[in-house]
Amino acid sequence: MFLLGKKIEFPDVELASPDGILAIGGDLSPERLLLAYRNGIFPWYSEGEPIVWYSPEKRMVLFPGKLKVSKSMKQLIRRGTYHITWNENFEEVIKACQESPRKDQDGTWITEEMRLAYIRLHEMGHAKSVEVWREEELVGGLYGIDLGHVFCGESMFSREANTSKLAFIHLAEKLEKENYRLIDCQVYTAHLASLGAREIPRMEFTKLLKDLKP
């Protein structure tokens, strides 16, 4: 594990510990965050802890053309109960992700420092959101970092059943139309696996990031 200083740099991701921890410290400046994502690294820590930077040995990804939409989700989409927007209310989406309870987690990993850092990235055009609405009420969504050809998903939330899935389906379909090649989902969840995401080795993932660099 490496201790970061003021210089904006990271060690080689292959030096990460078995549980994926690469470094601690540093800051959440836009320059450092963008360097991290471009190299397959992301911050994940709790309030009151130092910043911890991860690069897991196995990376959960979705190739947009491999999206799986279940019969029940297709029916939900056809019913037209919800409407979906792109990048129209980023601050409300990240706030909802921050406040949403997580199974087997005490509190949130989206600290106030992190929330403000990603809002800053959004203002710079690097962080984007998907919003799911029932009439005028925000009921689901997600946000992440747009690297161009690669979208790094950060968090999603649902206030009604399946609305985070609706947001993810919309994202994948939009990105496929725009010739994006990869959605980084970070770590395995059954929720993401049901939508077609799968794990690949870290070396394969970081090679893809380099090959897909705009």
The CATH number linked to 186 is 3.40.630.70
- pLDDT tens digits, the chain, 214 residues: what are they? 799 999 999 999 999 999 999 999 999 999 999 999 999 999 999 888 999 999 999 999 999 999 999 999 999 999 999 999 999 999 999 999 999 865 544 446 899 999 999 999 999 999 999 999 999 999 999 999 999 999 999 999 999 999 999 999 999 999 999 999 999 999 999 999 999 999 999 999 999 999 987 6
The CATH number of residue 52's host domain is 3.30.70.3550
Q: Are residues 107 and 188 in the same domain?
A: yes
Does 205 lie in the same domain as 100?
yes
Are the C-beta atoms of 126 and 146 separated by less than 8 Å?
yes
Q: Number of folded domains in the chain?
A: 2
pLDDT (tens digit per residue) in 18-66:
999 999 999 999 999 999 999 999 999 988 899 999 999 999 999 999 9
- 90 beta partners: none
Please state, in angstroms and rounded to a whole number, the distance separating the CA atoms of residues 133 and 170.
13
Which strand (E) or helix (H) includes residue 93?
A: helix 90-99
CA 78 to chain centre: 26
pLDDT score at 108: 62
Give the range of the structural domain holding residue 34, as residue numbers without chain letter. 2-56
Judgement on whether residues 159 and 128 belong to the same structural domain of the protein:
yes
Query: In the β-sheet with 127-134, what is the strand arrangement from edge to edge?
Result: 83-86, 127-134, 137-146, 150-158, 182-186, 58-62, 198-201
Q: Rounded to 5 degrees, what are φ and ψ at 200?
A: -130, 155
111, two tokens: 């600290």
